[in-house]
Structure 1
Amino acid sequence: MTGFTFYPIEATYRIIDGKAVIFLIGRSGEGGHVIVADNTFPPYFYIKLKVQRESTVLMKRLLDFKLEDEKGGAFFTHIEPITKIYLGKKIDLLKAHTNLPGSVPKLREEVRKMDEVEDIFEYDIPFAKRYLIDKGITMLHAYTVEAVPFSYPSRVPCFMLSSISPGEGNRESLNILAFDIETYSPHGRVMVPEEHPIIMLAVSGKSVSKVITWKRFKTERKDIEFVESEAALLEHFFRLIESQRPDIIATYNGDGFDFPYIITRAKKHKIPLDIGLDHSEIIKNKAGQVEIVGMPHIDVYRFVKRIVRGNLQTQSYKLDAVAKELLGEGKHESDVSVLYKAWDEEQGLEQYCAYNLHDAMLTLKLAEKLLPNLIEFSRIVGQPLFDVNRMGFSQLIEWFLFKQALAENQLMPNKPSYRETRDRMRRSFVGGYVFQPTPGLYENILMFDFRSLYPTIISSHNIGPDTLSSLPPTVDALPVPLDDAKIFFVQERRSFLAKQIDDLISRRIRVKEMMKESPNPFLDARQNSLKLLANSFYGYLGFIQARFYNFDVGRSVTAYGRHYITMVIEKAQAAGFKVIYSDTDSIFIGLEEKKREDALRFVRQINETLPGVMELEYEGNFKAALFVPTRGNEGGAKKKYALLDEKDRIIIKGFETVRRNWSIIAKEVQREVISILLRTKNAKEATAYAQEIIEKLRKHMIPKDQVIIFTQLTKDIEGYESKGPHVKVAMRMKERGIPVSGGSIIQYIICQGAGSIGERAKFPDEVIENEYDAEYYINNQIVPSVDRLLAVFGVDPATLAESKSQSKLESFF
């Protein structure tokens, strides 16, 4: 028997001698990788009978039941009666253990058919995840393990578990290896991994930083390593992973690009992919996620796009934009679209090696910066880093609820069936209240919003499917403020969901208190993770695939939200403030003759009337705010405005600058016009700037790369009835043998000539500098991007597109 400290990093399982064996993979207290196996945990699911007294007969029948197959069959190994709480009520169940994880889906279908069975539950939880929940294992926490060595084909020591108990502390320093590839790509952004090789591969980690390439050139750089071929490059990369043996392999879009490309090229060269710690191969699973056993692949892009984006100012999730905001440095300037030419001509390859290495280094730095957040989410929801990295907020909430449900003996509802999902999609309820703004430029305005409006409503009003009632629980109980229904929530017992929100809020308060005494990035990541989860509860409840979805619960939350925001608006107006705009949980007010202290006093008075943990907070003072009219309407546009804060920073919401299918020049013009209007309030200057760009377009002084439009194919080409310009370009790309499909980003330029817009749309490589259709970009990109902004100041959009010579001629007459 061996005893040691163990820090688990991931969990999987293997079938050994006909039995499911959990593999916990991590680091020992001495620092080396180890595998701790557990062969004592059985797969199971729950069965609810129509008549509980029939349980004894059914238990015997189930234990005698077996589905035969070539692998030994699927059968039950043990069945026990238990009681759990389901949506507020105690119910009796059978806990049915099976011989293998793969037997669960087979046996559940047979059980469904039995007349005695009313329903089955928790049958769709992956085995390793189920183990972590039931055993309460937290990734990277210290555990004291008693185990015996056992023989298994592995690159690291393996132990069979005898006992495991929580220890003290966490492992927070992880060895990360980041990499990035550059490929030979004569078709620009369209990659063809079956045909085009990887020509450079950069790695960056604690003890390694270099580029591997297979075309030699003279260089003084010591961080460039030459090999003989692409096959040698891949083999060298795999050996480097083996020698480094990192805790984490980090990429930026490695699921979508780097790893699939490597897998394709390795298979072409017949190079083994068995780099997992148990000699298993790199695999791309059904969800398109790339897995390596023992070295979790963390795709930073996925985490940024799913979780971090809400905290970013940038609307682009490209490496350059994200790195600039989070790290203060971006990618090196280099035109990778012509890298293939440099490769063919053997010119300028050193700058591309530097570019490649810098990308890997940025990926490493982003991984290091975001790792505390990733670790905290993993600890809170009880799932491995690899899985949490790829979860959206609804998935994070659901796994958090699974973890909490076990502690409270709660039975989790099932995911909806196809019919239930279809029925949910047919119903909708009213969302948040919006106070429509009057178009204009406003000065000296304050913004307030409700702190976590929907979560605090759920907590303060004890909302949940398990407390929902159509009858008043007490004589003086008030219903939810709905016009078309009488809905109540009982107060004598806490709803399961409200308790979880309470827990998240109280834990965050405790962490923030700890930060005052001992601030560190992990505590900050923890409080931020707790906040994000709490704020995501309502979104989860409204998600039609959610286990806890409930129509009446969802509409009750938004009804209370409308009630409280309209109450604030009415009281603000009665107190003499000018309400400029309000949307769901926020309100913009103009001070008029009042002072900021008056507004803060007003908010304190509001908070005294709010129930539970609800609170209206001061968000900021803005020097200027610009609200524009809706197109074809005099009223103000909703969710579309620009602000200038006290630090002279511009915040843009809802404009074309955040949309992909506008050209770069259109976005730049709009951004600059907004800046001029907010900072100088000079409409003539803004108009003159827009007209100057228009003149440059007419003279083709704007380079073609500024007029490229990027549009995503939302489905395969064959699925389009109407063939827009991006579809037409995609069709021509396919004719040239360039693979495109739903999800591909198509870039194109509209050129001069006869025919429809689609017929004049060309791939950028096909276009010469003065070929683009200036009038198209002026009338369909530049003018629409600024017309409503300038309309606020009375500028006629028709005058924008006039040429300077035409304007002078008209003024002469």
Structure 2
Amino acid sequence: MISLSPYNSPTKKHTLGPQATNSFIDVLSGMSLSTDLQEHGDWARPAPPKHERRKSIKFQKLDIREANEPSGRSQIHLFGVTKDGYSILVRVLDFPHYFYYPAPQGFEEEDLSPLCEYVNELLLGTGKPVVSEIQLETQTTCVDGRPVEFLKISLFDHRKMRRVKDIFMSGRCQYRDLFSSPELSYEASIPYFLRFMLDTNILCMTWLQLPKNEYNVILTAERVSCCQQEVSISLESLRICHVIDDQEKFAPLRILSFDIESDLKSNGKFPDPRGEAVIQIGNMISVHGQDIPCNRTVFTLGSCSAISGAHVLSFEDESKMLLAWSHFFLEVDPDVVIGYNITQFDIPYLLNRAQTLNLHEFPFLGRVRGEVSLNRNIIVQAFPPHSTLGSPQSMAKRQNTFPDCPGYEGRLLLDVYFYIREHYPQRVGSKFKGSLKLNAVAKDFLQDTKEDVDHTQIPILYRGNPDTRRQLALYCLKDAYLPLLLLKKLKCFEQEVRVAREASVPFNTLRVWRTLKNIAKRYIDAISGVYLAADPQGMRDA
């Protein structure tokens, strides 16, 4: 448990600054009466019971990750949440990546093992065998096409797909002089994780079961994740569960909505993380299906008067505040991270600011130990030299910053701003100037508004006193609260899950790899038509 030292107890009452409204104060106070606000520092997920292999585990899959054992053999990692609300990583074993290549004339069944050995000898530089098995299969290459003999080439290590494919397509394979005329490869361009999803029909938010005595608990010292539970299981033992009713549709997912406030330049322009500090971070923690956030916490730079219904954690040093927030984030262990325009402002700003302050441990916010949530390109793209950030509207012109924004592996990331932009295109365009701003969106959909603080007042409130910083903290908390209300009112999460399931792609790739939907559809059509799809020239290799 992390140790933070707030200046004020959240139960102590203070008067509000002169420019703040009372409505949101009443909302927060009402929350404190309706929920048991956790004691300061007690926002971690409840500890799971001790693992017993005699009990089965039912969980809902959130995210998927390609991985490898120390031996190099491929694994699929499934991140999820159990029906009791514990985070879990499941290592799925014994699922090989594979592709197809036309069997040349004269190739016989007895050539399979010798060809496998031959290809592995060509790849001796890798240090370990790469091809695990080669089989002969009869397939077609189009609907109602004639049967053709193919080699199904399976790999120990999915990362070597291109090298193995190139041996056949480049003419390097001279086994018995049967491969002198290179042919097209088939289905080598399917990413390993997508191959797994298509072959098993384990899609976004699928419920799965680990039967008792058929999985192994990973020792703490050998874990690769910071999930509460980590196990391994063979593919053949993994079971798909069918949802009985709407109450079982979603696990008790932890949702974190956050918003940051930063200092402004002296000329009033938008800030640059290389110079302007992060001065507040507002957080709202909710559980899917519940109406009221179970935790409301704001981190402030400088002392801040207490807020009824919220934790106020104040710091005199920005670096300590940012590190404390990163520990808070990891202890909360959110399954879904949301906010308004967080992929183009809040997340890049935090990462770039932490880099400016040399906070090397800050970016480790995903569920994979030792893996940073950092994309170096984001520094250049989101904050180009000699320019400043603008409103969501002006920033949206730099479309490449949205997919390039680093996410948090093992957690789902949903930017409500981009959801509104994509699903309500009538709000986009110069004719509707300002209609994508949070205040306008909240007013139209929620009949609510942001707190009445102009952005030019932010540095004034910050440099004032504990009461003015309290006013700014209310503003920051409200900006974290409104996306939660929009998420529920517009069913943003449910809609994105539906899109991901229909496209047979992971939830997070809807943001970072938009064209994957087209790739998946191409192979889904081939599967339903019972034929193989040739790899288009120039398509991204797996």
Q: Same fold (TM over 0.5)?
A: yes
Report the counterpart of residue 303 of structure 1 in structure 2: 419
CA distance in 2 between counterparts of 1:87 and 1:196 reads 59
Give the stretch that moved more between structures: 330-339 or 26-35. 330-339
Q: 3-state SS of the aligned residue for 1:119?
A: coil
Report the counterpart of residue 601 of structure 1 in structure 2: none
- Checking the alignment, whether the CA contact within 8 Å between 2:262 and 2:278 is kept in structure 1 is yes
Q: Does 1:204 align with 2:281?
A: no
Q: Does 1:235 align with 2:288?
A: no
RMSD: 3.1
Equivalences for residues 552-701 of structure 1 within 5 A: none
CA distance in 1 between counterparts of 2:59 and 2:309 reads 38
Q: Does 1:109 align with 2:109?
A: no
How many pairs does the alignment contain?
Answer: 416
- Checking the alignment, whether the CA contact within 8 Å between 1:74 and 1:107 is kept in structure 2 is no
Q: Does 1:284 align with 2:374?
A: yes
1:9 to 40, 45, 62: 62
1:358 to 478, 490, 496: 478
Per-residue deviation at 1:350?
Answer: 3.2
1:157 to 190, 204, 229: 229
CA distance in 2 between counterparts of 1:270 and 1:313 reads 37
Cα gap change, 1:31 to 1:73, in 2 (>3 Å):
same
Q: 3-state SS of the aligned residue for 1:185?
A: coil
CA distance in 2 between counterparts of 1:339 and 1:70 reads 59
Per-residue deviation at 1:10?
Answer: 1.0
- Checking the alignment, whether the CA contact within 8 Å between 1:303 and 1:389 is kept in structure 2 is no
Q: 3-state SS of the aligned residue for 1:118?
A: coil
Report the counterpart of residue 259 of structure 2 in structure 1: 180
- Checking the alignment, whether the CA contact within 8 Å between 2:407 and 2:413 is kept in structure 1 is yes
Report the counterpart of residue 352 of structure 2 in structure 1: 264
Per-residue deviation at 1:363?
Answer: 1.9
- Checking the alignment, whether the CA contact within 8 Å between 1:79 and 1:97 is kept in structure 2 is yes
2:343 to 224, 248, 255: 255
Cα gap change, 1:284 to 1:305, in 2 (>3 Å):
farther
CA distance in 2 between counterparts of 1:179 and 1:96 reads 47
- Checking the alignment, whether the CA contact within 8 Å between 1:256 and 1:288 is kept in structure 2 is no
Per-residue deviation at 1:73?
Answer: 5.3
Q: Does 1:135 align with 2:200?
A: yes
Per-residue deviation at 1:312?
Answer: 5.6
CA distance in 2 between counterparts of 1:27 and 1:131 reads 20
Q: How does the TM-score come out when normalised to structure 1? A: 0.47
Question: Which one-letter code corresponds to 1:402 in the other structure?
Answer: Y
Question: Which one-letter code corresponds to 2:58 in the other structure?
Answer: T
User: CA deviation digits over 1:150-193, x for unaligned, max 9?
Assistant: 33324322211141222231542522111111112206554321
Cα gap change, 1:85 to 1:233, in 2 (>3 Å):
farther
Question: Which one-letter code corresponds to 2:200 in the other structure?
Answer: K
Cα gap change, 1:221 to 1:29, in 2 (>3 Å):
closer
Q: 3-state SS of the aligned residue for 2:84?
A: coil
1:215 to 302, 306, 312: 302
CA distance in 2 between counterparts of 1:121 and 1:305 reads 37
- Checking the alignment, whether the CA contact within 8 Å between 1:302 and 1:390 is kept in structure 2 is no
CA distance in 2 between counterparts of 1:68 and 1:291 reads 35
CA distance in 1 between counterparts of 2:269 and 2:169 reads 49
Question: Which one-letter code corresponds to 1:199 in the other structure?
Answer: I
Q: Which one has the largest radius of gyration? A: 1
Give the stretch that moved more between structures: 39-48 or 286-295. 286-295
Q: How does the TM-score come out when normalised to structure 2? A: 0.69
Equivalences for residues 281-430 of structure 1 within 5 A: 281-285=371-375, 288-306=404-422, 308-310=423-425, 315=432, 316-344=435-463, 348-368=468-488, 369-390=491-512, 392=514, 395-417=516-538
Give the stretch that moved more between structures: 197-206 or 342-351. 342-351
User: CA deviation digits over 1:732-772, x for unaligned, max 9?
Assistant: xxxxxxxxxxxxxxxxxxxxxxxxxxxxxxxxxxxxxxxxx
Cα gap change, 1:148 to 1:342, in 2 (>3 Å):
same
Question: Which one-letter code corresponds to 1:145 in the other structure?
Answer: L
- Checking the alignment, whether the CA contact within 8 Å between 1:402 and 1:412 is kept in structure 2 is yes
Report the counterpart of residue 385 of structure 2 in structure 1: none
- Checking the alignment, whether the CA contact within 8 Å between 1:205 and 1:364 is kept in structure 2 is no
CA distance in 1 between counterparts of 2:58 and 2:495 reads 24
User: CA deviation digits over 1:69-121, x for unaligned, max 9?
Assistant: 87635732211222334343244432211221210122223322023321013
- Checking the alignment, whether the CA contact within 8 Å between 2:116 and 2:132 is kept in structure 1 is no
Cα gap change, 1:160 to 1:328, in 2 (>3 Å):
same
Q: 3-state SS of the aligned residue for 1:34?
A: strand
CA distance in 2 between counterparts of 1:253 and 1:55 reads 59
Tell me: higher relative CO, structure 1 or 2? Use CA pairs within 8 A at least 6 residues apart. 2
Cα gap change, 1:215 to 1:167, in 2 (>3 Å):
same
Per-residue deviation at 1:396?
Answer: 3.2
Per-residue deviation at 1:41?
Answer: 0.8
User: CA deviation digits over 1:690-726, x for unaligned, max 9?
Assistant: xxxxxxxxxxxxxxxxxxxxxxxxxxxxxxxxxxxxx
Per-residue deviation at 1:401?
Answer: 4.4
Question: Which one-letter code corresponds to 1:41 in the other structure?
Answer: F
Query: Which one has a larger percent helix, Structure 1 or Structure 2?
Result: 1
Cα gap change, 1:144 to 1:320, in 2 (>3 Å):
same
- Checking the alignment, whether the CA contact within 8 Å between 1:281 and 1:292 is kept in structure 2 is no
CA distance in 2 between counterparts of 1:69 and 1:230 reads 52
CA distance in 1 between counterparts of 2:186 and 2:456 reads 53
- Checking the alignment, whether the CA contact within 8 Å between 1:132 and 1:138 is kept in structure 2 is yes
Structure 1: gaps (5+ residues): 419-544, 546-813
- Checking the alignment, whether the CA contact within 8 Å between 1:6 and 1:27 is kept in structure 2 is yes
Q: 3-state SS of the aligned residue for 1:180?
A: strand
Question: Which one-letter code corresponds to 2:95 in the other structure?
Answer: F
- Checking the alignment, whether the CA contact within 8 Å between 1:204 and 1:361 is kept in structure 2 is yes
CA distance in 2 between counterparts of 1:116 and 1:149 reads 49
Cα gap change, 1:138 to 1:214, in 2 (>3 Å):
same
- Checking the alignment, whether the CA contact within 8 Å between 2:348 and 2:405 is kept in structure 1 is no
User: CA deviation digits over 1:761-803, x for unaligned, max 9?
Assistant: xxxxxxxxxxxxxxxxxxxxxxxxxxxxxxxxxxxxxxxxxxx
CA distance in 1 between counterparts of 2:152 and 2:269 reads 53
Report the counterpart of residue 100 of structure 1 in structure 2: 157
Report the counterpart of residue 585 of structure 1 in structure 2: none
Question: Which one-letter code corresponds to 1:201 in the other structure?
Answer: I
Q: 3-state SS of the aligned residue for 2:185?
A: strand
Percent identity of paired positions between Structure 1 and Structure 2? 20
Report the counterpart of residue 193 of structure 1 in structure 2: 273
- Checking the alignment, whether the CA contact within 8 Å between 1:9 and 1:26 is kept in structure 2 is yes
Q: 3-state SS of the aligned residue for 1:80?
A: strand
CA distance in 1 between counterparts of 2:339 and 2:135 reads 46
Report the counterpart of residue 615 of structure 1 in structure 2: none
Per-residue deviation at 1:405?
Answer: 3.4
Question: Which one-letter code corresponds to 2:535 in the other structure?
Answer: N
Q: 3-state SS of the aligned residue for 1:331?
A: coil
